[in-house]
Amino acid sequence: MNVAVCADVGSTYTKVAVVDLDGGGLVSAAAAPTTVGSDVLHGLDAAVGAATVGLTSGEVPWLVCSSAGGGLRLAVIGYEPLVTAQAGRRVGLSAGADVVHVAAGRLGRAELAALRAARPDVVLLVGGTDGGDAETLTHNATRLARARWRVPVVLAGNGDVRDDLHGLLVGAGVPVTVADNVLPRIGVLAPVSARSAIRQVFLRHVIGGKGLSRGGRFTRLVRAATPDAVLSGVEVLADVAGGDLVVVDVGGATTDVYSVLTPDERAAGPGREVAGELWRARTVEGDLGVRWSAPGVVRAAVEERLVAVTEADGLAAKAAVRAADPGFLPADAAGRVVDARIAALAATVALRRHARGVGTGERAGRDLRDVRLLVGSGGVLRHASDNDAAGVLDAVLTDHAGGWALPRAARSVVDTDYVLAAAGMLAEEHQVAARGLLRSLLG
């Protein structure tokens, strides 16, 4: 059988899917705890071994993505907070990064100190449209050069000074990768080149620098940050489904929301966003998760008036137990109901922020009225009963008090076999297999 091993090395669990490359079917799947405390290859090899039991021996390609060790931490430095800095932030999120810092304007001593304090893995340096302002971008590049900056930089600003600034940074010993301008013209967002550059920097510098494994084998295996792979899978899913969709991925530490919208007249005209519209987008809610960030879910739910204070007290105690033990597994049905409740609150708050643009730094939210498909992902949904998983997604689709326009006619499915990340890794070289795998998700 012509198969590939697709693996996602997460912070808690490593998930493996064996995929038929000819037909796109799921051959087998398995999971094992991620062995961050020793060497992540131990958990990866265990999960692959469990998924490939009984398969014919031979050379099988491995496609691996990873968010272990905290994933990719990105800082964005732009010219103006509502234009190039915002554009850079959106591009960073689309590249699978956790955007930990956004700065706008000229870097001074205080701004440079704040940048260091954010501990980014990569800096996305942007500013100015092509032919526009070059002074701020030049100043910031010069400041990094003089500070002997050693964190990798992706330079994706005004193309008129790109070559000169590249030479300046290289001469100062700054590891720099050049990409096309993320905002070549006002209202035009061009993420592809910068997203690719961030991915390459992640593979070259970040994976190997996190101390996740001894030797170079793990670094050679990893092809993408997990959120980047999932977004690629979501893009293929949108093409297969033929319409607007939303994916909500409820994790232990974060809840990620991906949406794919069909470009229309909103892309131009007087109402357009000056920072550009990203029709395939992702937001990350770092305070919402069912393990590490469970207490944040309860706090956010109280602020959003999704739970009464009387319920919040009891829920907060249960959330604290989960935060103290990220490997916590409910021992009975009552515990699983609590997990589902926390997941429903996390998904609802995350969708509110994504759609309204509140709490994400966005000037405007996302118009999700035409969404026809809502996909739920994450271990808490995959391991829940059908009723509990459906209840989590129903909470999102019936959030009439959320201050956002609900999808008018959406059906919901759960990525129980964890195929989105696998399809995203397959998409570039095995498009037929990726599309076939996602058709199974659609039923």
List, for residues 273-282, the tens digit of each pLDDT value: 544 555 777 8
CA dihedral in degrees (434, 435, 437, 441; nearest 10)? 130
Quick check: 277 and 267 in contact, CB under 8 A? yes
At 204 the pLDDT is: 81
Q: Which residue has the higher pLDDT, 200 or 154?
A: 154
CA 319 – CA 293 distance, rounded (Å): 8
Query: In angstroms, how far apart are the furthest CA atoms of the chain?
Result: 63
Contact 5, 18 (CB under 8 A): yes
pLDDT of res. 57: 59
pLDDT value, residue 271 = 42
Q: What does the mean pLDDT of the chain come to?
A: 89
pLDDT at 24: 77
Q: How far apart are CA 66 and CA 217, in angstroms?
A: 14
In the chain, the percentage of residues whose pLDDT exceeds 90 is 64
pLDDT reported for residue 275: 45
Rg (C-alpha) for the chain, rounded Å, is 22
d(CA 182, CA 159): 10
Range with the largest mean pLDDT of 201-205, 285-289, 413-417:
413-417
How confident is the model at residue 80, as a pLDDT? 84
pTM listed for this prediction: 0.84
Asked whether 129 and 160 are in contact (CB, 8 A), the reply is: no
pLDDT of residue 278: 58
Average pLDDT of the residues in 9-26: 89
- pLDDT value of position 97: 83
Residues 218, 198, 234, 407, CA torsion sign: positive
